Amino acid sequence: MAKSKTAFVCTECGADYSKWQGQCGACHGWNTISEVRGVGGSSTKGARGARFEGFAGSLSAVQSLDKVSLAEQPRISTGMQEFDRVLGGGLVEGSAVLMGGHPGAGKSTLLLQAVCHLAEKTPALYVTGEESLQQVAMRAKRLGVPTGDLKMLSETSVERLLQVAEAEKPKILVVDSIQVMHVADIESAPGSVSQVRESAAYLTRFAKQTGTILFLVGHVTKDGSLAGPKVLEHMIDCSILLEGSSDSRYRTLRGIKNRFGAVNELGVFAMLEQGLKEVKNPSAIFLNRGEEAAPGSVVMVVWEGTRPMLVEIQALLDMAQGSYPRRVAVGLDQNRLAMLLAVLHRHGGMHVADQDVFVNVVGGVKVAETSADLALLAAIVSSFRDRALPQDLVIFGEVGLSGEIRPVPSGQERIYEAAKHGFTRALVPKANAPRKAIEGMKVIPVTKLSEALSALEEL
């Protein structure tokens, strides 16, 4: 019988220690080290051996960099343009893709739709560990997808799963989910740090060596990050996150990491009775505004991955009821909101210290880039003065601490996208103004916050 071995592993970076300590010496995280139990001895070829062999497959001969083949790897389309966009143009042979999301977001539904259509042309194996085969079959029938070519397996043992995969030789392998998989050589329970890490190492190595496209479904924590060790995200080639609130019919698929394409790429889907349907023009659904202009509402252009997208931002200011005014931001960074309010007071002459400030990005979109600064301040000024802005106006630009309006990347592409949707006026940084006039679009260039506020007064 193999001797049991106890180790202490950091849940963030996967570093091993012989005893517990408060801080990880590798990633400097506090209280991230937990005890795991494995099997020692050289006679057992466990998952730890798989990890030492590397995630990129078998070892190759040494060669100079200029001898490496630069031939572009062929892509396999999933049949969904939005899905392909997030993946960087399609699936790549031997790639490992990790899909995360909250319970009920639609992870299994999206993968089942894509794999059922892919199975008509490419051998595919769907491994479920959380649901029974009957439950998956009932969902497939409800979605109305072709089911005759997809192979199914209900299994949680990684060793047994790989035996079946070696016999079936699928080109696409889906594991739902990685948190319920377990390796026999590890004594800890499924879902623990060691089990998730070693199970993923086994599956990723198999995908690299055989050229199999691997999909791993992962759980998320309360704060929305992927559950399990941080090393899990380093193993895989592509990490995507499916987001969407329970009260919204729309789901956003965002690329967090991608070795074969652009990161932060965004795909939008609508949840219907027949499953997830791609939305090819996201700007149209996020611009469902009322017929009458309302104070505190303005449209901005954000850049998601490789394309611009128009979204509406709303602001509401009201007299504070307590001693401490509230600052609430939904879809935006709350700390940046506080900073912009200070800039508005210092360089715009507007005192809002006695006001509760609420800002929201319509449609549940999360905006992380700084191009929303000027539009956010315009919405706040509009609500404070109770004066609506024109509905044909679009605004974008970064605001600095000294009150200057800074340019943003791909400024002209943003203006062209706004003109394509019928907007006729744009308030933008001067450096982003196009050199040639755009037909039907009046561009208002500004360099300082005071100029932008004066331009809003004249509209």
Average pLDDT (118-147) is 94
pLDDT at residue number 412: 92
At 354-374, the pLDDT tens digits run: 999 999 998 878 898 999 999
pLDDT at residue number 234: 86
Number of neighbouring beta carbons within 10 Å of residue 169: 10
Looking at the structure, tell me whether residues 109 and 17 fall in a common domain. no
Q: Which of 298, 280, 284, 233 lies closest to 97, judged by CA?
A: 233
Average pLDDT (117-122) is 94
CA angle 64, 67, 71 (to 5 degrees): 140
Looking at the structure, tell me whether residues 168 and 21 fall in a common domain. no
Alpha-helical segments (H) within 4-56: 47-53
Looking at the structure, tell me whether residues 221 and 320 fall in a common domain. no
At 58-70, the pLDDT tens digits run: 556 788 988 888 7
Query: Does 48 have pLDDT greater than 50?
Result: no
Identify whether 272 is part of a domain.
yes
The domain in which residue 205 lies consists of 75-280
Average pLDDT (285-305) is 84
pLDDT at residue number 38: 54
pLDDT at residue number 25: 87
Looking at the structure, tell me whether residues 111 and 225 fall in a common domain. yes
Looking at the structure, tell me whether residues 205 and 95 fall in a common domain. yes
CB 423 within 8 A of CB 335: no
Looking at the structure, tell me whether residues 372 and 236 fall in a common domain. no
CB 207 within 8 A of CB 94: yes
* Mean pLDDT lowest among 42-51, 74-83, 287-296, 388-397: 42-51
Identify whether 449 is part of a domain.
yes
Average pLDDT (327-331) is 94
Cα gap 224→243, rounded to integer Å: 9
Higher pLDDT, 415 or 264: 415
Domain count for the chain: 3
Identify whether 369 is part of a domain.
yes
C-alpha atoms less than 13 angstroms from C-alpha of 115 in its C-beta half-sphere: 27
Average pLDDT (254-264) is 89
Identify whether 304 is part of a domain.
yes
Looking at the structure, tell me whether residues 382 and 272 fall in a common domain. no
**In 3-state terms, the chain is what percent helix, strand and coil (to 5)?**
30, 30, 40
Query: How far is residue 375 CA from its own chain's centroid?
Result: 24
* Mean pLDDT lowest among 10-24, 155-169, 261-275: 10-24
Q: End-to-end alpha-carbon separation of the chain, Å? A: 81
H/E element, 451? helix 449-458
Looking at the structure, tell me whether residues 251 and 303 fall in a common domain. no
Query: Does 6 have pLDDT greater than 90?
Result: no
Ligand-binding annotation for 106, yes or no, is yes
Query: 68: which DSSP letter?
Result: S
Looking at the structure, tell me whether residues 267 and 323 fall in a common domain. no
Looking at the structure, tell me whether residues 180 and 323 fall in a common domain. no
Q: If you count DSSP H runs as helices and E runs as strands, how many of each does the chain have, helices first?
A: 12, 23
Query: Does 448 have pLDDT greater than 80?
Result: yes
Identify whether 42 is part of a domain.
no
pLDDT at residue number 224: 66
For residue 129, the domain's CATH number is 3.40.50.300
For residue 393, the domain's CATH number is 3.30.230.10
C-alpha atoms less than 13 angstroms from C-alpha of 34 in its C-beta half-sphere: 13
Task: Round the average pLDDT of the chain to a whole number and report it.
Answer: 88
pLDDT at residue number 145: 93
Query: Does 40 have pLDDT greater than 60?
Result: no
Identify whether 320 is part of a domain.
yes
pLDDT at residue number 247: 66
Identify whether 50 is part of a domain.
no
3-state SS, 66-77, equals HHCCCCCCCEEC
Looking at the structure, tell me whether residues 370 and 329 fall in a common domain. yes
Query: Does 57 have pLDDT greater than 70?
Result: no
Domain end: 253, 280, 307, which one? 280
Looking at the structure, tell me whether residues 219 and 298 fall in a common domain. no
Domain end: 280, 304, 325, which one? 280
Cα gap 379→298, rounded to integer Å: 6
Tokens of 399: 């605001």
Domain end: 234, 263, 280, which one? 280
pLDDT at residue number 291: 72
Average pLDDT (316-323) is 90
CB 242 within 8 A of CB 229: no
Ligand-binding annotation for 107, yes or no, is yes
CB 355 within 8 A of CB 320: yes
Cα gap 248→286, rounded to integer Å: 12
Share of the chain above pLDDT 70, in %: 91
Ligand-binding annotation for 101, yes or no, is yes
Identify whether 243 is part of a domain.
yes
Query: How far is residue 182 CA from its own chain's centroid?
Result: 27
- What SS3 class is residue 306? coil
CB 305 within 8 A of CB 85: yes
Ligand-binding annotation for 103, yes or no, is yes
Q: Which of 86, 87, 90 lies closest to 77, judged by CA?
A: 90
Cα gap 200→197, rounded to integer Å: 5
Of the pLDDT bands very low, low, confident and very high (cuts 50, 70, 90), residue 3 is: low
* Mean pLDDT lowest among 130-144, 149-163, 235-249: 235-249
